[in-house]
Amino acid sequence: MIRGKCWKLEDNVSTDHIISGKYKFGAIDSLDAMVPHVLEEVIPDFYKKVRKGDVIVAGRNFGKGSSREQAPRLLKMVGVSAVVAKSFSHIFFRNAINVGLLVVVAQKVPDVSETGDTVEVDPEGGVVRNVTKGVEETVNALPSEVTAILKAGGIVEYIKNHGAPPWLKGTE
């Protein structure tokens, strides 16, 4: 179970919004150097304001655009514990799971949430809750392979623990 402060974002937050190309490419050899620019054009100084465990709650099409994996990696690095959105771009969704950032699709909670609310996410129980607003929503539980990857902290950690990705067994 994750419990954190909500950062509310709108529809169509792109990976350019999360980490702009001009900063990503300016510091292409170092993730650490990109940190001050995370979401900077949406929430100035986000990297200073965000606290470990905070949850982003957004609208439709979160993470659209560029495939840059720096986007979910940087959100995780600055302390974001989960992203709850009405829908995700497929590349961002895969990237987030691979790097161990919890992503949950929900509909009601994004509609009522405001920045500063307390939000809870229980991926295994399939529940997302805005505690401040008293709104709870049942969401589809993630497939067991995905849960296993997230529990390990990402696909790399999973492979280190098990020797191969979860889907590879039985395909050789």
Of 124, 127, 169, nearest to 147 by C-alpha is 124
The rounded distance, in Å, linking the Cα atoms of 17 and 38 is 8
Closest to another protein by CB, 1 vs 33, is: 33
Site for another protein in 102-141 (CB under 8 A): none
The residue ranges of DSSP E strands in the chain, in sequence order, are: 2-8, 55-58, 82-85, 102-105, 118-122, 127-130, 135-138
Hey, what are 18's tokens?
A: 């999360």
Question: What DSSP string runs through 5-39?
Answer: EEEE--S--BHHHHS-HHHHHHTTT-HHHHGGGTT
Phi then psi for 134, rounded to 5 degrees? 70, 35
Q: Which of 7, 68, 130, 142 binds another protein (CB under 8 A)?
A: 68
The least CB distance from residue 163 to another protein, in Å, is: 11
The verdict on 162 binding another protein (CB under 8 A) reads no
Q: Which of 67, 107, 144, 161 binds another protein (CB under 8 A)?
A: 67
Applying CB under 8 A, which part among 46-54, 61-69, 120-128, 130-138 lies near another protein? 61-69
How many residues sit close enough to another protein to count as binding (CB under 8 A)? 44
The least CB distance from residue 155 to another protein, in Å, is: 6
Closest to another protein by CB, 43 vs 135, is: 43
Closest to another protein by CB, 9 vs 119, is: 9
Strand order in the sheet with 118-122: 102-105, 82-85, 55-58, 2-8, 118-122, 127-130, 135-138
Closest to another protein by CB, 66 vs 113, is: 66
Instruction: By CB under 8 A, name the binding residues for another protein.
Output: 12, 14, 16-17, 20-22, 24-30, 41, 60-61, 64-70, 73, 87, 89-91, 94-95, 98-99, 143, 154-156, 159-160, 164-165, 167-168, 171
